[in-house]
């Protein structure tokens, strides 16, 4: 289980602030400013002097003091630069959100308020974290030094990369606001300043740190693996969405820290940010990050390499599973050895060269590809090296990892509540959902691959008790396989089969060889009675109502 936590600050108490797939810990309320010394070449100490006085202890102390003063002045200048930029660029974001209740999908959870940070970028847009505005119903922004809050609209959200774009229509808001420019990925030990509105106060705050690591990291909000920069600056709740500034340019966006550790924060690097923004500009909405759709294994074991015919000096990774919905499914085969990606050799541990003596997993090269862009992979298959071309696209898992900004689907018939299996549904079992949720459903959610487009795993989530379903109440949390002998593809398909049933009885085949049989007409009458008793406004969610309407009009729909 991950120890990363996101950093939006919540006013009301709600576990919905924290990422469902991972455990979280409590935040510390204190702001911490970590002072960093930046090494500046000392010209005095570089000069050679044959006199004894130049090498005396007193002379050495004088030179060290001079260097210390220059280092302090350099750090102070960087800090002032970050503050000056922040005054005209960084904003505080106030979000009112309402998350859905996946156990009672016709209801929402209690409204909650949270705060985060953001900053202005070219094009009169504000960049922030996706988790700052997730499931939002109302968003306001306030610039530094202003008592007024301005209504903001969410233009695009990328929950996978934890980024969002906001727009503000008010011309008054934009008066005096200066957009920040993006820089490059900082090198190790370079100093950065994180600017935002963390808890502990209402005004702008600047914390300093140095870059300690650059590598793919688990993005806790979207449960994805993308490049991130680790820094030793204190990033507290409320810092989310604030810029990390290096010199006069943005080096990244603050978004999470590591629980149980002191002063370990993470920022989203510029390549990920630019990929998100360019994708929105080119497609009009967020599309996602590309994937090969593979499960690969390292080939560090010599016996494994020998078994698959890898020659000395040959390196790569072993293909274990391929997502049937990916283009790689048509091109690659199980037990292929991927030797290189776009001409970049892949090491036996799955890494590729990155900058000066650094390495990074080859997944980063894949994720930076644009939608429908081709990639050339060199593969070892049955002892022969071949080059193959693969079209890259974002690939959705069989069981969705998150469902932010989207109402859950449901269908109720005779008190039987059918829903598609999602990880947010399993998260309703609590913080320790991995162990507390039904084991069979959990394993399928994490490991099973889709077999066809628009496929869903549909489950019977609960039984709303009535005479019509007495005796079936213990069959909750089982997957629904067939309706009247027809294998179901998704919840929309199940709804269609039930609503259009023209036989006397309905027969549901469930997982574990369980069966539910109902009289069709009696069940339809009971449905209205049960909905009224539980004050449920509709027997199906809005998306299924639209699908039914489209079906009647002869329009093809997809779930």
What's the rounded Cα separation, in Å, for the pair 409 and 351? 40
What DSSP character marks residue 211?
E
What's the rounded Cα separation, in Å, for the pair 487 and 503? 17
What's the rounded Cα separation, in Å, for the pair 215 and 351? 11
Any idea which residues carry the catalytic annotation?
131, 162, 240
Cα 194 to Cα 197, 219, 231, 246, 351: the distances in Å are 10, 19, 10, 9, 29
Quick check: helix, strand or coil at residue 106? coil
What's the rounded Cα separation, in Å, for the pair 291 and 376? 14
Is 194 within 8 Å of 239 (Cβ atoms)? Answer: yes
What's the rounded Cα separation, in Å, for the pair 230 and 209? 10
Contacts of 210 (CB under 8 A, 6+ apart): 36, 189, 190, 191, 192, 231, 232
Is 18 within 8 Å of 45 (Cβ atoms)? Answer: no
**Residue for token digits 């300043």?**
193
Q: Are strands 317-322 and 337-341 parallel, antiparallel or unpaired?
A: antiparallel
Among 241, 148, 245, CA closest to 206? 245
Half-sphere exposure of 33 (CA within 13 A, CB side): 12
Quick check: helix, strand or coil at residue 262? coil
What is the H or E stretch that residue 390 is in? strand 384-391
Burial environment of residue 439 by CB neighbours within 10 A (0 to 12, 13 to 18, 19 or more): exposed
Contacts of 420 (CB under 8 A, 6+ apart): 400, 409, 456, 457, 458, 459, 490, 491, 559
- Given its phi and psi angles, is residue 339 left (phi above 0), alpha (psi -120 to 50 degrees) or beta? alpha
Q: What are phi and psi of 124, to 5 degrees?
A: 55, 50
What DSSP character marks residue 392?
-
What's the rounded Cα separation, in Å, for the pair 540 and 531? 11
Alpha helices by DSSP H, listed for 201-356, are 270-283, 302-307, 328-331
What's the rounded Cα separation, in Å, for the pair 541 and 417? 11
What's the rounded Cα separation, in Å, for the pair 219 and 229? 11
CB atoms within 10 A of CB 137: 10
Is 196 within 8 Å of 133 (Cβ atoms)? Answer: no
Sign of CA dihedral 233, 180, 227, 212: negative
């Amino acid at each position: 289980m991950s120890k990363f936590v996101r950093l939006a600050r919540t006013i009301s108490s709600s576990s919905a602030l924290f990422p469902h797939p991972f455990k979280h810990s409590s935040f510390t309320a204190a702001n911490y400013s970590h002072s960093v010394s930046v090494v500046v070449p000392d010209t005095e100490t570089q000069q050679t002097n044959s006199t004894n006085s130049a090498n005396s202890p007193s002379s050495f102390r004088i030179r060290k003091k001079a260097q210390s003063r220059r280092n302090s002045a350099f750090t102070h200048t960087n800090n002032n630069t970050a503050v000056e930029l922040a005054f005209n660029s960084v904003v505080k974001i106030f979000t009112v959100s309402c998350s859905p209740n996946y156990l009672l999908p016709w209801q929402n959870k209690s409204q909650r308020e949270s705060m985060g940070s953001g900053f202005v970028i070219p094009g009169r847009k504000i960049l922030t974290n996706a988790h700052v505005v997730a499931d939002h119903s109302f968003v306001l922004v306030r610039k530094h030094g202003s008592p007024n809050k301005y209504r903001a609209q969410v233009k695009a959200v990328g929950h996978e990369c934890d980024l969002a774009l906001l727009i503000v229509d008010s011309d008054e808001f934009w008066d005096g606001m200066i957009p920040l420019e993006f820089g490059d990925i900082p090198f190790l030990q370079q100093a950065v300043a994180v600017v935002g509105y963390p808890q502990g106060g209402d005004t702008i705050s600047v914390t300093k740190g140095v870059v300690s690591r650059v590598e793919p990291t688990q993005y806790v909000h979207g449960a994805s693996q993308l490049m991130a920069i680790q820094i030793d600056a204190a990033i507290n709740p409320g810092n989310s969405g604030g810029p990390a500034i290096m010199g006069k340019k943005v080096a990244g966006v603050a978004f999470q820290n590591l629980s149980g550790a002191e002063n370990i924060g993470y920022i989203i690097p510029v390549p990920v940010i630019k990929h998100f923004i360019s994708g929105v500009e080119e497609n009009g909405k967020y599309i996602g990050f590309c994937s090969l759709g593979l499960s690969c294994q390292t080939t560090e074991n010599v016996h494994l390499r020998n078994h698959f015919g890898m020659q000395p000096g040959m390196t790569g990774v072993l293909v274990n599973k391929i997502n049937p919905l990916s283009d790689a499914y048509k091109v690659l085969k199980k037990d292929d050895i991927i030797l290189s990606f776009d001409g970049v050799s892949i090491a036996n541990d799955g890494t590729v060269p990155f900058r000066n003596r650094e390495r990074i997993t080859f997944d980063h090269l894949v994720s930076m590809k644009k939608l429908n862009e081709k990639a050339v992979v060199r593969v070892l298959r049955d002892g022969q090296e071949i080059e193959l071309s693969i079209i890259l696209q974002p690939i959705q898992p069989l069981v969705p990892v998150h469902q932010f900004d989207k109402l859950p689907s449901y269908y109720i018939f005779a008190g039987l509540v059918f829903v598609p299996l999602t990880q947010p549904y399993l998260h309703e079992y609590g913080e320790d959902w991995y162990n507390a949720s039904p084991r069979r459903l959990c394993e399928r959610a994490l490991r099973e691959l889709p077999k066809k487009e628009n496929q869903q795993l549909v489950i019977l989530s609960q039984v709303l008790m009535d005479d019509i379903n007495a005796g079936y109440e213990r069959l909750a949390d089982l997957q629904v396989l067939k309706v009247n002998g027809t294998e179901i593809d998704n919840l929309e398909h199940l709804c269609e089969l039930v609503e259009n049933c023209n036989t006397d009885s309905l027969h549901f085949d469930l997982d574990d060889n369980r069966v539910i049989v109902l009289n069709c007409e009696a069940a339809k009458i009971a449905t209205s009675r049960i909905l009224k008793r539980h004050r449920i406004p509709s027997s199906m969610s809005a998306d299924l109502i639209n699908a039914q309407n489209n079906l009647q009009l002869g329009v093809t729909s997809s779930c």
